[in-house]
Amino acid sequence: MTTIQPAATVPSAGTASRTGTTKQSGSASGTTTVGSGATGAAEPAATRGRTSIADTVVVKIAGMAAREIPGVHDMGGGLSRTLGAVRDRVPGGRPNVGRGVKVEVGERQTAIDVDLVVEYGVAITDVAHDVRENVIAAVERTTGLEVVEVNVTVNDVHLPEDDDEVASSETRVA
């Protein structure tokens, strides 16, 4: 339970005292002092509450940022990709943008692990570098959390003939 205490009447350190105007209230005995633009609270808005960012939010942002990089074919390890492929084919199922991303979120920092499948022929270290930079930029920009590390693991390479096998298996099923 949060206890709300009345605002202090003395300006806090680092804040300027506001000069107010005096306004007469309906009765002749009382006056009300109103500061120019004052909200009635001595504390800045940043200190009047707490913002919590769920792990799933960071997972989704990191997953979307990683997928934006050319050369990234898919995300996740073998089992998660298989389950994701099944989920994608189910009517009404939504793709899991967080597949292949694990995070640890603290109050001000986060650490992110990303599992990738890259396209055949790309420079893997360049793709990993670009993914790392894009994930850091996206997460820090949107959440305000400091990203302390992004660990990139390349689990597989997507070969052009993999698409041919998928296409032929789909025609056999249909």
Domains of the chain: 55-173 (3.30.70.1350)
Predicted model pTM: 0.64
pLDDT digits (tens, 9 = 90+) for 107-148: 999 999 999 999 999 999 999 999 999 999 999 999 999 999
In this prediction, residues 14-23 reach a mean pLDDT of: 44
Cα–Cα nearest to 113, from 89, 149, 77, 88:
149
Return d(Cα 4, Cα 91) in angstroms, integer: 49
β-pairing verdict for 109-119 and 101-105? antiparallel
Nearest alpha carbon to residue 61 among 148, 136, 119: 136
Contact 48, 7 (CB under 8 A): no
